[in-house]
Chain A
Amino acid sequence: MTALIEVENLTVQFRTDEGLVTAVDDVSFTLDKGQVMGLVGESGSGKSVTAKALMRLNARNAVYGEKSRITLHSETGPIDVLKLTSARDLKIVRGGAISMIFQEPMASFAPAITIGKQMVEQLQIHSDMSKARAKEISVEMLDRVGISDPARRFDQYAFELSGGMRQRAMIAMALSTKPKLLIADEPTTALDVTIQAQVIDLMKDLVSEFHMGIVFITHDLGVIAQTADKVSVMYLGRLIEEGPVREVIRNPKHPYTQGLIAALPKLDDLDAPLTPVAGDIPSPLERPSGCVFHTRCPQILGDICKTDLPRDRRVDPVHRVACHLHDEKTPA
């Protein structure tokens, strides 16, 4: 396996009227070429901020940590993403090597420009192809994602399409530049299960066809189970568990991951009581000391959880967890 993107000690804070808010705190992970990583966690846990950091799409008030490093391995060599400054260099990652799709497809489309015109423009920004060739590729891509009558859709506006078709058009646009990494931020959350199943199917086909890496953000563990190779779980800005999808879902190690899975209503056991994770997620302005989960943890060990930050431990070579319950294991 070769690494596609390496994230080391990523910390993202935002300057706000109420002071510096920590959104992502010392997160590290590696995504290999062709690998699908699921990123789960409660709302506000820092999933979108982490994903946007990979493309440097966070708002201007974002402050990246001094030790933070994001390395994208491109065909022309490694790119130090957080060091990019000029608009031209940023284009190499934004919409070039990396594309992003969102929960709300309208966010990807300018309302007053046709879908085709936007696709062609994007292709021409990232290559020196002719307009005619760019159109040809765009229509092919629309066809590939299952949009009927693609030549006609090419000349339509996003608002003229149904919800499911819009989602497909957004995927077509994101993939037309053949990115190495696709970031999908809750792409199926607003869809009905029937349309979600279609979109998941489409994405799986495209992964094997284009062999790209995907960061798939969702709060739906079922969607993760159906799409991801590995899973990273975030809580209040920290990555608290990471491992292969089977391991994390069947054998979760962190009390938060265990609680998340226990809270899911399961169709194969309608008698099982629904068990919430007790308590509420703290405000990012009041991040707990020690383990960020200690205020809700049902297995809290004592003072160590309230004062000491748990270090990453390996429960096996590819499964790591940050929790004092696993302190005797080898450091990751």
Chain B
Amino acid sequence: MTERPLITARDLSVGFKIGSGFFGKQILKAVDHVDLDIARGSFFGLVGESGSGKTTLGRALLKAVPITGGSARYGDEEVDYDLTTLSGAELRDYRKRAQLIFQDPYAALSPRMTVRDIIAEPLEVMGLTKTREETDARVREIAAKCRLNLEHLRRFPHAFSGGQRQRISIARALVSGPRFIVADESVAALDVSIQADVLNLLKQIQHDLRITFLFISHDLSVVAHTCDHVAVMYLGRLVESAPTRTLFAAPRHPYTKALFSAIPSLDPDDRGSAQKLQGEIPSPTNQPTGCKFHTRCPFAVDLCRKEEPALEHPGDGHEVACHRWRELLGQTAA
């Protein structure tokens, strides 16, 4: 029997109330009926253009924005929580178990606190340690895992480079002993030469501490190298989900194919072969009918404009939401 997933979302939706125009309040559907299973111990990638709802989905799973529809569960070896109703002591306990690593290592750290205090703060706020000695021991242990030494702990964050700051953010996220971490664009602001260093550290943490990651990124090459499973979002919907190798070897959704094809090739003799996706992602307040991708899809037919395709589970672990995916198998470009 397979282990129960750490995160199970069904029909999960997040809507934001916006504006107060003539017709009253409008609801912006940032996450729209998403089904998602995140296996325990996995490094689960979430990709899609900006505005597709990745950050909102991640925050909903951390209970940092209200879930407005559907259900979401979290279950590790010790607890089983219904995230839609979680509150009180259980919610406080969940805050220890689920953590966020931010995108911007420059903005995330308070400039007036030493690195030691930055890492220790969650312990103190959550009351996880009883004495200063205990706190210090815990901070040193986690700092060492993130390759920060005692000398580093005494300094202020401005004295550090981008890569070092991201290691500080990671240490802060790890100190409460989480089982689940949402890493939202955690290497996007870093130079290529040090990106690999932070990615290797995250993978090491996943492996050594058996932590499950939801890794949100717009960089498909990074996702291909780090994640074991990848889900693709478009305008709040999950349009495809598969083990990484399967997805990159044989994407099924026209949107995923277009995303892959847009990655600039490192080969100067392979210019202009990319299939260009026309136009931009539509505004979430003015969503297309039918398949949300039909306005940009080179394969759209009448059915696509009328009916929204459901996420199909063909039984091989490679899920896709497109009316025409079977017909289009093997086809890479328009």
A residues neighboring B (CB under 8 Å): 42-43, 162-165, 192-198, 200-201, 204, 219-223, 225-226, 245-246, 249, 259-260, 263-267, 270, 272, 274-277, 280-281
Residues on B with C-beta less than 8 A from A272 are 225
Asked if B264 contacts A200 (CB within 8 A), the reply is yes
B85 at the interface (CB under 8 A from A): no
Provide the bound-state CA to CA distance between A10 and B252, in Å.
51
Asked if A198 contacts B276 (CB within 8 A), the reply is yes
Residues on A with C-beta less than 8 A from B163 are 280
Residues on B with C-beta less than 8 A from A276 are 193-197, 200
Residues on B with C-beta less than 8 A from A165 are 280
Provide the bound-state CA to CA distance between A196 and B264, in Å.
9
Q: With A219-B191, A225-B265, A280-B163 known to touch, is A195 a contact of B196 (CB < 8 Å)?
A: no
Residues on B with C-beta less than 8 A from A265 are 196, 199, 219, 221-222, 224-226
Residues on B with C-beta less than 8 A from A204 are 272
Asked if A267 contacts B164 (CB within 8 A), the reply is no
Asked if A270 contacts B193 (CB within 8 A), the reply is no
B73 at the interface (CB under 8 A from A): no
Asked if A263 contacts B259 (CB within 8 A), the reply is no
Contact of A264 among B50, B192, B244, B248 (CB under 8 A): B192
Contact of B265 among A43, A162, A219, A222 (CB under 8 A): A222
Provide the bound-state CA to CA distance between A290 and B163, in Å.
25
B residues neighboring A (CB under 8 Å): 49-50, 161-164, 191-197, 199-200, 218-222, 224-226, 244-245, 248, 258-259, 262-269, 271-272, 274, 276-278, 280-281
Asked if B280 contacts A162 (CB within 8 A), the reply is yes
User: Other than the known A222-B265, A276-B197, what 4 A-B pairs have Cβ atoms closer than 8 Å?
Assistant: A192-B218, A193-B218, A222-B263, A280-B163
Contact of B220 among A193, A198, A249, A263 (CB under 8 A): A193
Asked if A280 contacts B194 (CB within 8 A), the reply is yes
Q: Which residue of B lies closest to A192 (CB)?
A: B49
CB distance from B83 to the nearest CB of A (A): 29
Q: Which residue of B lies closest to A269 (CB)?
A: B225
Interface centre among A226, A259, A276 (most CB of B within 10 A): A276
Q: Which residue of A lies closest to B280 (CB)?
A: A164
Provide the bound-state CA to CA distance between A195 and B225, in Å.
23
| Interface SS majority for chain A | helix
What are 20 residue pairs bridging A and B, where the CB atoms are less than 8 Å apart in the complex? A192-B49, A192-B218, A193-B263, A193-B264, A194-B258, A194-B262, A194-B276, A194-B277, A197-B264, A198-B277, A221-B266, A223-B264, A225-B267, A226-B271, A263-B193, A265-B219, A270-B224, A274-B195, A276-B194, A280-B163
Provide the bound-state CA to CA distance between A299 and B244, in Å.
35
Provide the bound-state CA to CA distance between A311 and B226, in Å.
39
Contact of A260 among B192, B263, B272 (CB under 8 A): B192
Asked if A197 contacts B276 (CB within 8 A), the reply is yes
CB distance from B222 to the nearest CB of A (A): 5
Residues on A with C-beta less than 8 A from B269 are 246
Provide the bound-state CA to CA distance between A285 and B200, in Å.
29
Residues on A with C-beta less than 8 A from B245 are 270
Residues on A with C-beta less than 8 A from B162 are 43
Residues on B with C-beta less than 8 A from A226 are 264-265, 268, 271
Residues on B with C-beta less than 8 A from A219 are 191-192
Q: Which residue of B lies closest to A281 (CB)?
A: B161
Residues on A with C-beta less than 8 A from B191 are 42-43, 219, 281
Task: Give the 3 A-B residue pairs with the shortest CB-CB distance, closest first.
Answer: A222-B264, A274-B196, A276-B197
Asked if A220 contacts B264 (CB within 8 A), the reply is yes
CB distance from B200 to the nearest CB of A (A): 6
CB distance from A168 to the nearest CB of B (A): 11
Q: Which residue of B lies closest to A43 (CB)?
A: B191
Provide the bound-state CA to CA distance between A220 and B188, in Å.
12
Residues on A with C-beta less than 8 A from B49 are 192, 194-195
Provide the bound-state CA to CA distance between A263 and B162, in Å.
16
Residues on B with C-beta less than 8 A from A198 are 276-278
Asked if B264 contacts A267 (CB within 8 A), the reply is no
Residues on B with C-beta less than 8 A from A163 are 280
Q: Which residue of B lies closest to A162 (CB)?
A: B280
CB distance from B258 to the nearest CB of A (A): 7
Provide the bound-state CA to CA distance between A43 and B191, in Å.
7
CB distance from A325 to the nearest CB of B (A): 19
CB distance from A23 to the nearest CB of B (A): 17
